[in-house]
Structure 1
């Protein structure tokens, strides 16, 4: 099972530009996914789908996804607006007004969560959303389950993008997931960087963005002192691939750009490849 993930598309950042930079970056990421062999079985787009939450940008996003040979499942981020999103993507399930739903992907069950609180940059996960999650987890304690959401519940070290680990929503989510032995991990976006860590006995994998990336700057930041540090950089659009091998979920990150090839599987390297593979037990 191969699940692709893109995140933080921010379509509509240039609302009046037909050749919008972020649309070009999205198209490059989708082209890279289409060129994969094997192709993904599913694509997750995990929030900040558009930049201003407007219907027109959601319509352009739908156009960008139309015709893909694999299904696309969507989550909402802090730049999204539920009402406008639902107008353009009415088939996306809602639970008690939130964009939360269960999805079967081969042997895996995915639980897509809504961490949006409109008007707030950081995440949220209220009692109503937590009740839905706990009910879904209580219904099935056997099927291997992946949690999908926009905001990571972790402190990443980039001060202006951090989640405070003492925030109530983080504890509420951790309480829902505690002791759930069939939850295989949590995938998110929001940080505009690839970040991986352990949290609440789970692996949290944060996908880099298709829109420009956040600079890797770990110095403490003082909001009262603009020190000219880089905040956003034009690294290539990126994506994640989550491969379920039947035992573990393995996450790879890549960028949508040309990679210079330094070696190919030709006759000169055939013996090396054969010897390496022969070491594996039959």
Structure 2
């Protein structure tokens, strides 16, 4: 039985990479994909309580790209929370999205809902493709978790602290940031999930027994190829493909987190709930009762 409260919905859009084709402006491929995702989300009858943009918002840190994105999300009737990825530049991002930089200079903050906290972690190591989770960031996370040990908590960061098998994108488990993150979250039973981006693919895994999801990108997808990479041999494999753009909806209800990953495209509707399907719907409802 539920508690009667409506579900909390957290939308996540990641890896937009506006500015990859810097001269195209609003006709840019990635920007148009983002607008399609935004419009699909806004067209839903059930709207999210917030939207998290979980990093790689601009491909090269161009101020005009962040400004274009900030204008685009003004259409959202719910709060929008930006985060950093390895393609972002903190100092430029926070000019377009002021108020999200903490006293230590990281784009790192909490979002507090009734019955759920969200910790948004800055995993950017400026100038490096891989992730970062330094002692200062770890100390902040530890303080936040220790201060609310009984409150369910969702962690969001750009870089997944997992080895997914996509060799050219994966971190090594021996990296300091990777080990520090695992050590920091271990034993904190209030963490209900970890939501990431970066890998441009739908992926589920776990860290220290905590469920982890990777939201696929708005920008084109990284291809699923689990072969090792030889950096001395260009083997002509596909590494990026124009699969549909995605977003995720993280649904928190009755103490459980469920993540839906939604591709966006002009799909043909094959069935609708019309009069002839009422007996089926009623039968399904009767079974649950």
- Fold in common (TM above 0.5): yes
Matched residue, 2:230: 222
Aligned to 1:264: 272
TM-score w.r.t. the length of structure 1 is 0.97
Structure-to-structure mapping, 1:33-182, within 5 angstroms: 33-182=41-190
Tell me the matched-pair count. 281
Task: Please say which of residues 255-264 and 199-208 is displaced more in the overlay.
Answer: 255-264
Match of 1:74, SS? Answer: strand
1:160 counterpart SS class: coil
Q: Note the alpha carbon deviations across 1:10-61, whole angstroms, 9 max, x for none.
A: 0111122121111100000001101112011111110001000121211111
1:129-158 alpha-carbon deviations (Å, 9 max, x no partner) = 101110111111111110010000001111
Measure, in 2, the Cα distance between the counterparts of 1:150 and 1:95.
20
**2:15 paired with 1:13:** no
**Alpha-carbon RMSD:** 1.1
Question: Is 2:215 the counterpart of 1:207?
Answer: yes
TM-fit CA distance, 1:105: 3.0
**SS class of match (2:111):** strand
- Give the CA deviation at 1:85: 1.1
Runs of at least 5 residues in structure 2 that lack an aligned partner in the other structure: 1-7
Of stretches 42-51 and 67-76 in structure 1, the one that deviates more from structure 2 is 67-76
Asked whether the equivalents of residues 82 and 97 of structure 2 are also in contact (C-alpha less than 8 Å), the reply is no
- 1:156–1:163 Cα contact (<8 Å) kept: no
Report Cα offsets for 1:84-104 as digits up to 9, x if no partner: 112221122424111111111
CA distance in 2 between counterparts of 1:21 and 1:258 reads 16
Equivalence for 2:263: 255
Instruction: Give the secondary-structure state (helix, strand or coil) at the position aligned to 1:99.
Output: coil
**Residue in 2 that maps onto 1:183:** 191
Structure 1 unmatched runs, 5+: none
Q: Report how far residue 166 of structure 1 moved.
A: 2.3
Asked whether the 8 Å contact 1:152–1:206 carries over to 2, the reply is: yes
Instruction: Kindly indicate whether the alpha-carbon contact (under 8 Å) linking 1:115 and 1:125 is maintained by their aligned counterparts in 2.
Output: yes
CA separation in 1, counterparts of 2:114 and 2:263? 26
Which residue pairs with 2:4 in the alignment? none
SS at 1:122's partner residue? coil
Rounded Cα–Cα distance in structure 2 between residues aligned with 1:100 and 1:170:
18
In the alignment, what sits opposite 2:3?
A: none
Q: Aligned pair 1:23/2:27, yes or no?
A: no
Large movers: runs of 4+ above 3 Å: none
